[in-house]
Amino acid sequence: MTDAKKSATLTIGDQSYALPIFSPTAGPDVIDIRKLYGEAGVFTYDPGFTSTASCDSTITFIDGGKGELLHRGYPIDQLASKSHYLEICYLLLYGELPTAAALEDFELTITRHTMLHEQMVNFFRGFRRDAHPMAIMVGVVGAMSAFYHDSTDIADPQQREIASHRLIAKMPTIAAWAYKYSIGQPFVYPRNDLDYAANFLHMCFAVPAEEYHVDPILSRAMDRIFILHADHEQNASTSTVRLASSSGANPFACIAAGIACLWGPAHGGANQACLEMLKEIGTVDRIPEFIARAKDKDDPFRLMGFGHRVYKNFDPRATVMKQSADEVLDLLGIENNPLLQVAKELERIALEDEYFAEKKLFPNVDFYSGIILEAMGFTTSMFTPIFALSRTVGWISQWKEMIADPQNKIGRPRQLYLGETARDYVDIENR
Ligand code: CMC
């Protein structure tokens, strides 16, 4: 971190404290409060971290006002149209776009790690068939620390590297097998002659009884979904990975924690929740009823797939995802399906509605991804696992960055305590 060139003054009673201000390469200035408690004896209060930078990072930048998302400085729309997922994985992990030779090497390494330890098949079989694939992913990824002992020592850079490659390579196999298990079909092993996205589709949709050919338009759309979810700076699941890792936990445990956090409907679970909501709405004429519910303060219902903590203009991922949805639906010849009609009409009405405009609520990435995944034939329960496999590289890049950072220390937030002050224990007969 560079030296602070500015400072802020905080006055409490008759005492003043100078707080250094750091200027980032992009985004708002940051007031450094690390010494505040030691010097002034006060904490800061920020539930939900709406104004708190928890780390410094060089990986991803979001300008919520402009609707801008950059990975290592490159805009997401350029990456989505010109690049492919494994190249973006390299970019996120190592900071630069690879040369052709470096990319070939990286792709070979990832491809060679796609198989799971055969013993893990038994682990999958221990789950109930109706287990949610996210529950299986949390369990299986956490269990990787019991299978890959040679990549759990976080102090060894070589082991960190192998763990990173293993996680990126094996996550599609884990997600596809969670899916196969839930629909009662045999596991399909990875194929090294297919690219990352095509291999995933093959593992999800092939069956031993017949040949399965991956349509290149569908694998391109799948790859784009992976790209658009690859990283999103310090969101809830990434912060969870960083916090879990700050205690020195092994990478598989930390990524399992990230997957668990992603599952919630306010985060990665929104894509499943959004499609279920569209199905519940069912027909265009019922949209006003749901819009009214979303606006009603006494009703906890929210329009899933709308709104974002950081984007307050538009979600640049949604713009690309919307184009992709049109391409896929066109290819599959399903432009007029009722679900899509509800989605399009809901989007139109919500964007014109004063409530949504005033609160800056517009469709986010999860609004369109579910429509594509449904059209491809995935069950809704697979939407969030696909988000998790795409986000794995982001979690790992942030985890690697954090471990290499000399300022890394255990995360330990403070609190505003409003409970009882010290009181004496009361024996049970006197309560
Ligand atoms: N429908 C109706 N009202 C909403 C919605 C919505 N989807 N989202 C926010 N609001 C209202 C909310 O009621 C509040 O109103 P008021 O100020 O009157 O209390 C105001 O807008 C601000 O909401 P907030 O909850 O304080 O905002 P937040 O930044 O904490 O939440 C969010 C962001 C994404 C959790 C929220 O917009 C939401 O729950 N959206 C639906 C779930 C969703 O689509 N999540 C996916 C996010 S993108 C993928 C990812 O990053 O995981």
Residue in 308, 326, 353, 427 annotated catalytic: 308
Predicted pLDDT at 62: 96
* pTM to 2 decimal places: 0.92
Predicted pLDDT at 4: 78
430 pLDDT higher than 70: yes
Task: Read off the pLDDT of each residue in 27-43 and give the average, rounded to a whole number.
Answer: 96
Give the mutation target among 225, 231, 308, 368 for probing the ligand 1 site: most ligand atoms within 8 A of CB.
308
pLDDT per position as a tens digit, 338-371: 888 898 899 999 889 999 989 989 898 888 888 8
330 is catalytic: no
Ligand 1 centroid to 406 CA: how many Å?
A: 35
Residue nearest to atom 20 of ligand 1 (CA): 359
Predicted pLDDT at 1: 64
Q: How far apart are CA 430 and CA 104, in angstroms?
A: 74
Residue nearest to atom 29 of ligand 1 (CA): 309
Ligand 1 lined by 35 (C-beta under 6 Å): no
Which ligand 1 atom lies nearest to the CA of residue 294?
Answer: 2
Q: How far apart are CA 357 and CA 345, in angstroms?
A: 16
CB 221 within 8 A of CB 113: no
Ligand 1 lined by 76 (C-beta under 6 Å): no
**Residue 313, phi then psi, degrees to nearest 5:** -135, -65
366 is catalytic: yes
Which residues are 11's β-sheet partners?
A: 16
3-state secondary structure of 429: helix
Distances from the Cα of 14 to the Cα of 38, 97, 155, angstroms:
17, 53, 46
- Token pair 């991804």 in the structure block, residue: 369
2 pLDDT higher than 70: no
Ligand 1 centroid to 359 CA: how many Å?
A: 9
Ligand 1 lined by 294 (C-beta under 6 Å): yes
Which ligand 1 atom lies nearest to the CA of residue 307?
Answer: 37
